[in-house]
Amino acid sequence: MSTLNLEQVIQQAGGDVVEMLRNAQIGNFAIPLRPEYTNWRDEQEAWATTAVLFDQSFHMTDVYFTGTDVKRLFSESAVNKFDNFGRNRAKQFVGVNEEGYLIGDSILFGLEENRYSLVGTGVAGNWMAYRAQTGDYDVEVEFDLASAVNDKPRRIFRFQLQGPNALKVVERAHGGPLPTIKFFSMGEFSIAGVPIRALNHTMVGHPGLEHTGLEMTGPYEQGPVVWAALIEAGIEFGLCQGGGLAYPTTAVETGWLPLPVPAIYTGDAMKGYREFLSAATLEANYAIAGSYVRPSIEEYYVTPYDLGYDRLIRFDHEFIGRDALRELADRPHRRKVWLRWNAEDCGQVLAQSLFGGKDRTKYLAQPFNEYGVSQNDTVTIGGRPAGVSTSCSYTVNIGTFASIGLIDEAHAQDGTEVILTWGEPDGGARRPNVERHVQAEIRATVSTIPLT
């Protein structure tokens, strides 16, 4: 097993982080679920019309933080405010580096007053573990790694139930009315005799709408009992089980950008952290895909303002990156938008990818269309750079391929037509999941509101 750390891996690559990550061999961020229960089209439609149940128990890393300084640790590390945070509260944790660029975001759960869990890809969890272990904090850290890199059973199950009939299904499984659960707070009840803690949030549709979904957790060994009870309760409400093909496509409908490049690969201030991360971590294998190829990794970094997270920033407390974010506030930013891809252009690219022979284009996979950990495609207007297209998928609810764009503010207006360059230059990076191909152009239309 390699004992190298991320800093050493970068040095071995000659310091060229972009080239290192463009040729990282792991492909995209895999979802270890059964691909389909029925078919991914009906499973997508279910979260818009009835309800869909996803098993989130395996693909995310849970990092637990326990101790008297846990609130101070997070307050001094996140852009968020923590005055009222505690048991059965949750929030979207956002952490930045000293220069104000995003390291990562995840969902933070307040399990008890002095015990939190940070759940997601592991990027934010690794950063906070480093902060806890190298800072002056009375905090213990425990990792429950994603199943792909964990040979032990998970500690808890995590089921996401989403759609207009979601609460009806849970009430039927519970056997009566549920306690009132405010948005992004947690409530407690039982299903089939199993204690449940549920977060009220939405992972599809318009962000911020209440009562469209619950994320339920409980003892891992009791997961099959709860799953069966939910399936039985959902029969009359049109409940579908959701698989690994449909699951990642929820992001493009909600507008959440799952895996922007973390701003950790450069700068003396982050060197200690790079030395903390092993060569086996996701950060050391963060495959960058797409037509947006820049000489410097800093050109892939984003700020909270680019992602619309300025609503979460509170300058009333000290935290890493606070002064930098103040300075960045009045500078031009990109704006997060939705890009609806032109269906005719998509059809032509798909046909050429299958039947184009030596002139084939990069395959438009359905429904999840990303071929790296972080997808980055060039967006232009009149031949001039206008931004980047990121997370991309096809959903039946949108009716075509679509992506999340980070577009220069001047062009982030409803109805603006842009050109997206699909496929990588020079035949594509040398990764196993990238076939030799030529680039193609796809028209897309900007929308500042969700497409469904």
Digits of tens for pLDDT over the chain (452 positions)? 458 999 999 999 999 999 999 999 887 777 889 999 999 999 999 999 999 999 999 999 999 999 999 999 999 999 999 999 999 999 999 999 999 999 999 999 999 999 999 999 999 999 999 999 999 999 999 999 999 889 999 999 999 999 999 999 999 999 999 999 998 999 999 999 999 999 998 766 544 444 478 999 999 999 999 999 999 999 999 999 999 999 999 999 999 999 999 999 999 999 999 999 999 999 999 999 999 999 999 999 999 999 999 999 999 999 999 999 999 999 999 999 999 999 999 999 999 999 999 999 999 999 999 999 999 999 999 999 999 999 999 999 999 999 999 999 999 999 999 999 999 999 999 999 999 999 999 999 999 999 97
Rounded Cα gap, residues 51 and 396, in angstroms: 15
- Integer angstrom CA distances of residue 59 from 115, 147, 212: 22, 6, 22
- The CATH architecture of the domain made up of 40-59+152-243 is 2-Layer Sandwich (3.30)
How far apart (Å, rounded) are the C-alpha atoms in residues 15 and 17?
A: 6
For the chain, which residues make up each domain, given as ranges?
40-59+152-243, 335-447
Dist CA 82 CA 51 (whole Å): 33
Residues whose CB is less than 8 angstroms from the CB of residue 73 and which lie 6 or more positions away in sequence, other chains included: 65, 128, 131, 132, 135, 137, 139
Phi, psi (degrees; rounded to nearest 5) at 186: -115, 150
Which has the closest alpha carbon to 52: 161, 158, 205, 214? 161
Do residues 441 and 352 touch, judged by C-beta distance below 8 A? no
Fold classification of 335-447 is Elongation Factor Tu (Ef-tu); domain 3 (2.40.30)
Residue-level pLDDT at 208: 42
DSSP code at position 363? P
Give every CB contact of residue 39 below 8 A, 6+ residues apart in sequence: none
